[in-house]
C-alpha cells in the first residue's frame, strides 16, 4: 500500500504515456532529408527558370501576333509564323521538352521517395529509429506526410510556371488567327494545375512503399520508375477519357480545343462503320481532296452526307479542363493516402 | 520486478525457428550477459525484447509487464543494435538532436559532457568517427535517454581491446551509479566476466541455462564464466553428436 503514498517518478510508472508531440518530427525529417529536399528545390528551381527564359519570348510573340491588325496582312502573318515556330520543341507530350517535363515527378518520387525507408532498412538504422520513444509507425507516418506535403507544395509552385508557359496555346480564338492551338487535355495535362503536385505525391508514396517492400534503395528506385510509368501510361491512354461521359455530336464544328475521343459513322440511325471503307470513298468522294497530310473525316463528311451517312464525334470540351484536373488530383490523392496506409501497415508488421 | 519476462517465446523465420520455447525471467538491477555461439538466437531474443520483432509464439514483456514494443516499453528501454547503426551523414550534434526529439527524456548536459570527455567533436559526421567513437556515441545517446533497461547487441564485437575496455567501463558506470539494468549479448566472453552478474546461456535457438552467475558457477563447479560457457556448450555439442 506504500505505492499509493509514494509519489511516482514522473513518466516512469505511468503505462499510458502521452505520445511525444508530432511536431518534433519536423526537425528530425529536415535534418535527415535536407540534401534530398535541396536537390528537389534545385531541380524544380532550374526548371522554373528555364521555363521562364523559354516562356518570355513565347508570350511576347503571342502578344504581338494577337494584337496585330489587320490580321490578314503579311506583317501579321509573319508574326503568327514567329509564334508558331517559337519553342516548337516544347509542344506536345512527345516533343523533347515535353518528355523531359513528364519525367520530373517520377524522378522526384524515385530519388526522394524510394530511399526514405529503404535506406533505413539497408543500412540498419531502422534499429535505431524504431526503438526510440516516438514509436515506429508514428515515425514513418510523420515522415511520409511531411515529405509528401513539402514535395507536393514545391511541385505545385512549379506547376504554376508550367501552366503559365503553355497558356498561349489554350487561349480561345487561336484558330481564327491561325495560331498554334492544342487541346488542353492532350498536352501535358498531368503537368499543369493540380495534376502535377498530385502525380509528384503519388510518385513519392509509390517510392516509399517500394522501398519498404524491397528494402534496398536501387531496386526500389527501379521499381518506382516502372510502376509510375505503368500508372502514367494507363491514366494517359485509357483512364482520363472516362472521367466524365464524353459529349456526342453530329456537327462538324467541334472546337479545335476539344479533345476528340472517337469518331464513327451511322446510316438510318444505325452504326455503319468507324472508318469509311475505301470503295465507298471511291464511289462517292470522286475527287478526294488533295493536299498535304491525310484528308480529315470532316472532308469525307461533306461527300458522304448526301448519301445518308452521318459522322458522329465524341469529345471532351475544353471547358472540362478543371473538372478533369480535380478528378485526376482527387483519385491520385486517394491512391496516395491508401498507399501511405499500406506502408504504415507494413512498417508495423515488419520484423527486424 | 523483472526487466524481461518471456513465456513460451518463439520466433520463426520461414521454416526455421530462430528461438524456441523460451521461458525466462531477468530480474532488474543486474548486468545480464546473453552468451552463446553465433546463430544461438541471441539477436532474435533481443529484437523481441525491444519490440523490433513480433513473436511467432508465446509472449514477452519488459519492465514489469509492459508489452515489448509498446510506447511505455520503448520509453524505458534504450537499445544499441549490432554494429551500432547511426545516420552516417548526420553530424554528432544532429544525432543528439534526433535522439532528443524522438524521446520523452534526454539528458542533454550528460550527452555533451560525455562526448567532450571522449573527445568526439560535435560537428564531425557520425560516419567519419572511428569505430570505437561510433560505439561510444551510440552508447552515449542510449544512456542520455535515461533508460531503466539498456539493451546492447554484440556491442564490442567490432572494437579493438582498448575501445572495448572503455565501452564496458561506461556501461558498468551506468549500471552501478544510475541503477540501469543492462542486458547485453556477446561472444567475447572475457569482457563479460568483469561486468556480468547474471547469465543467460543459449545455443541453437534455446535457452540452456539462466541464473545468478555466482550460483551457476558454484552449482557447476566452474571457476569463471568463460569456463562455464565453454564447458557447457562443448558437453552439449557432444550430446547432440551422440
**Domain locations in chain B?**
2-87+150-241
Of B79, B97, B148, the CB nearest to A131: B79
Counting the structural domains of chain A, the total is: 2
pLDDT for residue A171: 74
pLDDT for residue A296: 60
Percent with pLDDT over 70 in chain A: 90
Alpha-carbon distance of A14 to A16, in angstroms, equals 5
Give the model's confidence band at B241: pLDDT under 50 very low, under 70 low, under 90 confident, else very high: very low
A104 and A68 in one domain?
Answer: yes
pTM of the model: 0.89
pLDDT for residue A297: 62
Question: Cell triple for residue B200?
Answer: 543467460
List of residues 6+ apart from B77 with CB closer than 8 A = A131, B49, B50, B62, B63, B147, B148, B149, B150, B151
A130 and A82 in one domain?
Answer: yes
The reply to whether residue B74 touches residue A139, judged by beta carbons under 8 angstroms, is no
A147 and A57 in one domain?
Answer: yes
- Mean pLDDT on B173-184: 91
pLDDT for residue A5: 37
**Nearest by Cα to B35 from B174, B139, B154, B149:** B154
List of residues 6+ apart from A336 with CB closer than 8 A = A148, A198, A201, A202, A204, A205
Q: Is the pLDDT of residue B33 over 90?
A: yes
List of residues 6+ apart from A332 with CB closer than 8 A = A195, A198, A199, A201, A202
A241 and A139 in one domain?
Answer: yes
pLDDT for residue A1: 36
The reply to whether residue B104 touches residue A133, judged by beta carbons under 8 angstroms, is yes
- Mean pLDDT on A337-342: 98
pLDDT for residue A7: 40
pLDDT for residue A291: 44
Decide: A32 and B87 in contact? Cβ < 8 Å. yes
Residue A250 lies in a domain: no
pLDDT for residue A116: 96
Alpha-carbon distance of A307 to A291, in angstroms, equals 24
Alpha-carbon distance of A178 to A76, in angstroms, equals 10
Query: What mean pLDDT, rounded, does chain A reach?
Result: 85
Q: What is the DSSP letter of A305?
A: G
The whole-angstrom distance between B189's CA and the closest CA on chain A is 25
Chain B interface, mutation test: which of A22, A117, A131, most B Cβ atoms within 10 Å? A131
pLDDT for residue A9: 47
Residue A1 lies in a domain: no
A337 and A311 in one domain?
Answer: no
pLDDT for residue A6: 38
Give the model's confidence band at A142: pLDDT under 50 very low, under 70 low, under 90 confident, else very high: very high
A182 and A74 in one domain?
Answer: yes
How many interface pairs between A and B have CB atoms less than 8 angstroms apart? 92
- Output the CA angle B13-B153-B44, nearest 5 degrees: 15
The residue in chain B having the minimum alpha-carbon distance to the alpha carbon of residue A29 is: B98
Alpha-carbon distance of A182 to A171, in angstroms, equals 9
Residue A13 lies in a domain: no
Query: What mean pLDDT, rounded, does chain B reach?
Result: 91
The whole-angstrom distance between B237's CA and the closest CA on chain A is 29
List, as one string, the DSSP characters of chain B: -EEEEEEEEEEEETTEEEEEEEEEEEETT-EEEEE--TTSSHHHHHHHHHTSS--SEEEEEETTTEETTSHHHHHHEEEE-TT----TTSBHHHHHHHHHHTSS---HHHHHHHHHHHT--TTSBGGGS-HHHHHHHHHHHHHHT--SEEEEESTTTTS-HHHHHHHHHHHHHHHHHH--EEEEEES-HHHHHHH-SEEEEEETTEEEEEEEHHHHHHHHT-SSHHHHHHHHHHHHHHHHH-
ipTM score assigned to the predicted complex: 0.94
A277 and A174 in one domain?
Answer: no
A67 and A95 in one domain?
Answer: yes
The residue in chain A having the minimum alpha-carbon distance to the alpha carbon of residue B56 is: A351
A97 and A82 in one domain?
Answer: yes
Q: Is the pLDDT of residue A4 over 50?
A: no
Domain B2-87+150-241: give its CATH architecture.
Answer: 3-Layer(aba) Sandwich (3.40)
- Using a CB–CB cut-off of 8 Å, the residues of B that contact A are 13, 47, 50-54, 66, 71-72, 74-79, 81-83, 85-90, 94, 97-99, 101-105, 138, 145, 148
A271 and A239 in one domain?
Answer: no
A265 and A175 in one domain?
Answer: no
More reliable by pLDDT, A274 or B213: B213
The residue in chain B having the minimum alpha-carbon distance to the alpha carbon of residue A28 is: B98
Q: Is the pLDDT of residue A282 over 90?
A: no
List of residues 6+ apart from A185 with CB closer than 8 A = A240, A259, A316, A318, A320, A321, A324
pLDDT for residue A77: 87
Question: Cell triple for residue B121?
Answer: 567533436
Of A17, A126, A130, the CB nearest to B104: A17
pLDDT tens digits for range B97-150: 999 999 999 999 999 999 999 999 999 999 999 999 999 999 999 999 999 999
pLDDT for residue B242: 43
The whole-angstrom distance between A115's CA and the closest CA on chain B is 13
Domain holding A32, by residue range, is: 24-245+320-349
The whole-angstrom distance between B221's CA and the closest CA on chain A is 38
Residue A32 lies in a domain: yes
- Mean pLDDT on A289-302: 58
Of A24, A126, A351, the CB nearest to B101: A24
A281 and A184 in one domain?
Answer: no
Residue A18 lies in a domain: no
Residue A136 lies in a domain: yes
pLDDT tens digits for range B149-158: 999 999 888 8
pLDDT for residue A319: 86
pLDDT tens digits for range B185-204: 987 787 788 889 999 999 99
Of B75, B83, B98, the CB nearest to A133: B75
Q: Which residues of A touch B88 (CB under 8 A)?
A: 123
Q: Which residues of A touch B13 (CB under 8 A)?
A: 351
The residue in chain B having the minimum alpha-carbon distance to the alpha carbon of residue A123 is: B85
Residue A252 lies in a domain: no
The residue in chain B having the minimum alpha-carbon distance to the alpha carbon of residue A126 is: B85
- Mean pLDDT on A181-190: 76
Amino acid at each position: 500500500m506504500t505505492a499509493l503514498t509514494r509519489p511516482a517518478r514522473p513518466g516512469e510508472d505511468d503505462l499510458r504515456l502521452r505520445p511525444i508531440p508530432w511536431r518534433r518530427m519536423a526537425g528530425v525529417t529536415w535534418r535527415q532529408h535536407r540534401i534530398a529536399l535541396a536537390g528537389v528545390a534545385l531541380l524544380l528551381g532550374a526548371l522554373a527558370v528555364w521555363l521562364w527564359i523559354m516562356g518570355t519570348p513565347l508570350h511576347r510573340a503571342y502578344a504581338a501576333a494577337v494584337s496585330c491588325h489587320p490580321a490578314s496582312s503579311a506583317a501579321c502573318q509573319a508574326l503568327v509564323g514567329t509564334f508558331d515556330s517559337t519553342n516548337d520543341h516544347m509542344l506536345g507530350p512527345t516533343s523533347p521538352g515535353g518528355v523531359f517535363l513528364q519525367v520530373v515527378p517520377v524522378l522526384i518520387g524515385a530519388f526522394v521517395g524510394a530511399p526514405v525507408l529503404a535506406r533505413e532498412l539497408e543500412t540498419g538504422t531502422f534499429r535505431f529509429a524504431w526503438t526510440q520513444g516516438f514509436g515506429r509507425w508514428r515515425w514513418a507516418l510523420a515522415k511520409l506526410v511531411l515529405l509528401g506535403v513539402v514535395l507536393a507544395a514545391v511541385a505545385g509552385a512549379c506547376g504554376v510556371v508550367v501552366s503559365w508557359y503553355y497558356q498561349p496555346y489554350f487561349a480561345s480564338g487561336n484558330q481564327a488567327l491561325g495560331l498554334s492551338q492544342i487541346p488542353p487535355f492532350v498536352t501535358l495535362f498531368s503537368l499543369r494545375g493540380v495534376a502535377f503536385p498530385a502525380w509528384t505525391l503519388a510518385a513519392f508514396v509509390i517510392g516509399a512503399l517500394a522501398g519498404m517492400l524491397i528494402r534496398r534503395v536501387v531496386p526500389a528506385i527501379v521499381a518506382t520508375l516502372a510502376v509510375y510509368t505503368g500508372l502514367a501510361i494507363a491514366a494517359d491512354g485509357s483512364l482520363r477519357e472516362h472521367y466524365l461521359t464524353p459529349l456526342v455530336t453530329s456537327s462538324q464544328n467541334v472546337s479545335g480545343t476539344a479533345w476528340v475521343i472517337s469518331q464513327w459513322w451511322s446510316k438510318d440511325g444505325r452504326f455503319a462503320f468507324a472508318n469509311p471503307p475505301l470503295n465507298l470513298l471511291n464511289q462517292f468522294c470522286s475527287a478526294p481532296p488533295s493536299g498535304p497530310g491525310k484528308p480529315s473525316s470532316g472532308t469525307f463528311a461533306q461527300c458522304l452526307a448526301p448519301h445518308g451517312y452521318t459522322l458522329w464525334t465524341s469529345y471532351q470540351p475544353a471547358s472540362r479542363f478543371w473538372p478533369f484536373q480535380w478528378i485526376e488530383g482527387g483519385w491520385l490523392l486517394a491512391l496516395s493516402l491508401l498507399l501511405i496506409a499500406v506502408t504504415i501497415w507494413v512498417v508495423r508488421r515488419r520484423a527486424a | 520486478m523483472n526487466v524481461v519476462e518471456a513465456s513460451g517465446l518463439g520466433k520463426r523465420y520461414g521454416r526455421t525457428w530462430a528461438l524456441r520455447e523460451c521461458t525466462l525471467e531477468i530480474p532488474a538491477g543486474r548486468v545480464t550477459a546473453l552468451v552463446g555461439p553465433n546463430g544461438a538466437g541471441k539477436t532474435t531474443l533481443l529484437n523481441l525484447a525491444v519490440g523490433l520483432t513480433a513473436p511467432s509464439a508465446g509472449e514477452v514483456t519488459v519492465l514489469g509487464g509492459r508489452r515489448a514494443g509498446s510506447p511505455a516499453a520503448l520509453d524505458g528501454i534504450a537499445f544499441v543494435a549490432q554494429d551500432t547503426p547511426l545516420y552516417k551523414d548526420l553530424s554528432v550534434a544532429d544525432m543528439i538532436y534526433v535522439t532528443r526529439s524522438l524521446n520523452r527524456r534526454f539528458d542533454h548536459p550528460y550527452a555533451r559532457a560525455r562526448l567532450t570527455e571522449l573527445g568526439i567533436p560535435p560537428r564531425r559526421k557520425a560516419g567519419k568517427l572511428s569505430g570505437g567513437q561510433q560505439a561510444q556515441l551510440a552508447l552515449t545517446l542510449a544512456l542520455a535517454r535515461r533508460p531503466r533497461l539498456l539493451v546492447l547487441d554484440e556491442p564490442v564485437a567490432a572494437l579493438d581491446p582498448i575501445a572495448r575496455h572503455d565501452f564496458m567501463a561506461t556501461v558498468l558506470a551506468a549500471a552501478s551509479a544510475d541503477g540501469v539494468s543492462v542486458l547485453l549479448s556477446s561472444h567475447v566472453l572475457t569482457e563479460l566476466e568483469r561486468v556480468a552478474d547474471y547469465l543467460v546461456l543459449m545455443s541453437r535457438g534455446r535457452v540452456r541455462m539462466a541464473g545468478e552467475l555466482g550460483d551457476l558457477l558454484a552449482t557447476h563447479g566452474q571457476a569463471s564464466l568463460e569456463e562455464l560457457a565453454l564447458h557447457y556448450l562443448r558437453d552439449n555439442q557432444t550430446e547432440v553428436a551422440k
